[in-house]
Amino acid sequence: MRILVISNNYPSNAAPTYGVFVYNLIQKFVALGHEVNVIACSNIVKGGGDTSAPNYGSENASIHYPKIITASNKWILGYNTHLIGEYFSVRAVKKTVEENRIKFDVVYAHFLVNGIIAVKALHDYGKPIYVAEGELKNINLRKKYYKAVTYHKLISKIKGFVAVSPQIKDNLIEVGIEEEKIIIKPNAVDLTKFNPKDKRWVREKLGLPLDKKLVIFVGRFVHDKGPLRVLKALEDKPGVALMFVGKGEQELISDKIAFKGKVPTDLVPDYLSAADVFVLPTLHEGSCNAIIEAMACGLPIVSSDIPEIQFQCKPDSSILVDPMDERKIRVAVNTILDNEDKRKEMSTNAIAYAKKFEITNRAKDILDFIS
C-alpha cells in the first residue's frame, strides 16, 4: 500500500525530538512493507526542512518539508488566524504532491488539524483519508474555527479515525463522527529501544548519584503536566533526588534536582532506567507516551486519577492520585520508595503490562483498519 502521511508533528534536523512518536509509527509502516511519503509543513521563519542525512535516526520513508506562513490561533472579529496557516498548508500539500508526483492509495493524517488540511487539499484525488487523534482539546478547538455546516461537511469526508483512548472516541462521536468509523488504539512503545538497563551502569554513564533514590518526570515544564507539583511534593524528602526530562515555561530550581533539561531521544531509555519511580501529575492526556515508555523500562507509575490515565495503567504497577494534591503525590511516591519489595513487584508488573502496547502490533492493527 502507498501511504501519504500528513503531519506537522515530525522530526527534522532542526528539531530531532519533535514528533518522535509519529516517526516511530511511520518507520513501522515501512518495515511492514508499505511505501510511505510524509509531508510535514513547518513555519517559514523556523528551522527545519533540511534534506541532508537525518540526525534523528534512520529514515525509511520519503520526507517532504514544505515551508508555510502561519499566524498562531487568535480570534479577530470572529475569525481565527489559524485558518491563515491552514490555507497555506493546503496549498503546500497540493503543490508537494504535484511537484513530486506522489502516488498514494490512502492518506493518514496525524491529528484532526492535518485531517482537515488533507480533505481540502486531496479530496479530489478520490483516495480515503484517515485521521489519528490523540488530544481531547484539539477536537472541540477545531470545531470552533468553522461554521457548523462547514465543519460537518469537512469531517464527513474522512473515512475513519484512530482514537488513542475511549475518551477521544466519545468526543469524536459527540462532534458527529459515526461510531463505526472509529477504532481505539493507544499509543505504543518500541520495546527494542525501551527496556530496563542496569541501574548502576546507566547512573555512572550519566553522572547521576548512586546513593539516592531517583524520581523522574518526563514531559513539558508547564502547569498542566505538573513538574512544579512534583518538586514541591518531594523537596523535603530525604535520600531522594529528582530528574526532570523536558523543557518549558516553568522554572525548576532546587538542590534536589540531579538532572534537568532536554535529552536526545536515544538517551531517554537510559534516564528512565536510572530512576526508581516515574511521576506525572498531568491534568489531561490523550494517550501518554511517557507513561508507556516508563513502564517498559520497569518503572512504577505515580500519575493522575483521571480516565485517560486509568485506561493506560493497572493498579498492580501504578498509584493514581489527584494531580493537584501535592500531599497525595508525596504519599504515593513514599509508598513505592519506602517499600523495596513493593517497588520490585510493581516494576515487574509494569514491564509485563507494557508489552500490551508494543508498536509493531499497533501499526499492524491500524493498517488492517485502513485496509
Q: What pLDDT digit, counting tens, does each position of 283-320 carry?
A: 988 889 999 999 999 999 999 999 989 999 999 999 99
Q: Does residue 159 contact residue 129 with C-beta atoms inside 8 Å? A: yes
pLDDT of residue 353 exceeding 90: yes
Segment among 40-49, 57-66, 233-242 with least mean pLDDT = 40-49
Reported as a pLDDT band with limits 50, 70 and 90, residue 227 is very high
Q: Does residue 231 contact residue 208 with C-beta atoms inside 8 Å? A: no
pLDDT of residue 141 exceeding 80: no
Domains of the chain: 2-184 (3.40.50.2000), 199-357 (3.40.50.2000)
Compute the half-sphere exposure of residue 10: CA atoms within 13 Å on the CB side of its CA: 30
Round to the nearest angstrom and report the end-to-end CA distance of the chain: 9
Distant-in-sequence contacts of 202-207, Cβ < 8 A, 24+ apart: 202/270, 202/271, 202/273, 202/274, 203/274, 205/270, 206/259, 206/267, 206/270, 206/271, 206/274
Q: Does residue 213 contact residue 337 with C-beta atoms inside 8 Å? A: yes
pLDDT of residue 50 exceeding 70: no
pLDDT of residue 38 exceeding 70: yes
pTM for this entry: 0.87
Separation CA 115–CA 98 (nearest Å): 19
pLDDT of residue 42 exceeding 80: yes
> Rounded mean pLDDT of the chain?
92
Strands 129-133 and 301-304, by their bridges, are unpaired
Compute the half-sphere exposure of residue 58: CA atoms within 13 Å on the CB side of its CA: 5
Q: Which residue has the higher pLDDT, 104 or 146?
A: 104
Q: Does residue 356 contact residue 21 with C-beta atoms inside 8 Å? A: no
Q: What percent of the chain has pLDDT over 90?
A: 77
Please give the grid coordinates belonging to residue 360: 509493531
pLDDT in tens, 70-83: 888 888 888 888 88
Q: Does residue 304 contact residue 281 with C-beta atoms inside 8 Å? A: yes
Q: Does residue 276 contact residue 213 with C-beta atoms inside 8 Å? A: yes
Reported as a pLDDT band with limits 50, 70 and 90, residue 148 is confident
Name 134's Cβ contacts closer than 8 Å, sequence gap at least 6. 111, 163, 164, 168, 187, 286, 287
pLDDT of residue 16 exceeding 90: no
Reported as a pLDDT band with limits 50, 70 and 90, residue 52 is low
Q: Indicate the helix (H) or strand (E) that contains 215.
A: strand 213-218
pLDDT of residue 47 exceeding 60: no
What is the structure's pLDDT at 76?
87
Reported as a pLDDT band with limits 50, 70 and 90, residue 134 is confident
Mean pLDDT, residues 185-199: 94
Compute the half-sphere exposure of residue 309: CA atoms within 13 Å on the CB side of its CA: 25
Separation CA 160–CA 131 (nearest Å): 6
Reported as a pLDDT band with limits 50, 70 and 90, residue 219 is very high
pLDDT of residue 343 exceeding 80: yes
pLDDT of residue 51 exceeding 70: no
Please give the grid coordinates belonging to residue 49: 526542512
SS3 173: helix
Mean pLDDT, residues 3-31: 92
